[in-house]
Structure 1
Amino acid sequence: IDPQQRLLLEVAWEALENAGLAPGQAKGTSTGVFIGISTNDYLQLGCRQGSDEEVDAYTGTGCAASIAAGRLSYVLGLHGPNFPIDTACSSALVAVHLACQSLRNRECHAAIAGGVSLILAPQSTIYFCKVRAVSPDGRCKTFDASADGYGRGEGCGMVVLKRLSDAQADGDNILAIIRGSAVNHDGRSSGLTVPNGVSQEALLRQALANAGVEARDVQYVEAHGTGT
């Protein structure tokens, strides 16, 4: 089984506990699962190091992105929507956005959303080095004139989401309120993996509009600045 799947199970359980919910409480409910997962290093390792004879009945379920999300619903007994999402670096945030949309559309009572990424094989790092995405010194100098790439990392993060009225009625441990979110695509730019500043500005404006917030009201910004 891909370690990413094991980590998702562990961190989802911790997220439910942090929300003041016993994981068993969600069984049989319309809780949705939205997982950002973009890498499959474990599958690459198996294909490169193993032989065809070593493929067994668990190879597919142990490595599939659909199962990474589906296993959570299976283990916890959840009946809401279930999606693995791969939008590269934005996968986890897009997962949260889609979870919010599902809650607004009343497709689910609650949602577990987040993402996971582990570096288990060298191939992806070699690729990123060859396209000059990784900084030679491994440091990310975001928004700096000397930016020359980024440093790769690993992690898993999960949040439990509910409509505010439901969370208040249930006496849940509310850490924050998502006022609004938005997604788009760069479309055409100077290269397939090159950001499009105009499109990204439009995305920020749309997110602010969806949240009913003016740009001047924002006091803290956390950005995905790859340094490329």
Structure 2
Amino acid sequence: MAQTLLLLLSATCLHTAGFTRENDLGFNQPAVLSGVQGGSIEVPFSFYFPWELAKDPQMSIAWRWKNYHGEVIYNSTQPFLHEHFKGRLIMNWTQGQTSGVLRILNLKENDQATYFGRVFLQTTEGMKLWQSIPGTKLIIHALITTPGSPFIIPSAVLTAGLEDTRGQRNPSLLNLGAMVGMVMAKVVVIIPLYGWVIFLWWKQRPAE
């Protein structure tokens, strides 16, 4: 009986170890990041695995964008850089490290997409590769400069409320603003004037 229990316990431990092994594999990166057109963004990443590295691990990092099976925009092995990111992408990662930072410079409106990191490495059990599943969604905002100070506004709402259904600017909103301004200006001038007239009348009225 004791031997049977020992065998069952060993089988359970082996099954649990196998399950943990699968869960010990991953590629971490932020779920969502936002940047401003003309600025830069940093995508930190790290990865982990259960295997023992080979003497020559031959680590390599690659990045895709738009979707899980999208175009490769960077590969540290070849090396390769997508034409869209020429002169704008910097990979801060050193061979053998399990973390780094992907930096995109001079952000453009069409950089808005989801980015997926992937790692290749040689282990004692052969070549392994895996990729982030959710990736990092990058949101790009437009930078609007005013006489006072710059502020950020999503590019999708730059003209919201200023256009009618025919795609032309709605003059009624502009006219309403002008009318409100004129009324306020008149109120500011008329109230002191009425006050001055009442004061003079009160001074000049005959004493009772």
Does the alignment reach a TM-score above 0.5?
no
Q: Which has the higher helix share?
A: 1
TM range (shorter): under 0.3
Q: TM-score, with normalisation over the residues of structure 2? A: 0.22
Q: TM-score, with normalisation over the residues of structure 1? A: 0.21
Q: Which has the higher strand share?
A: 2
Structure whose CA Rg is larger: 2
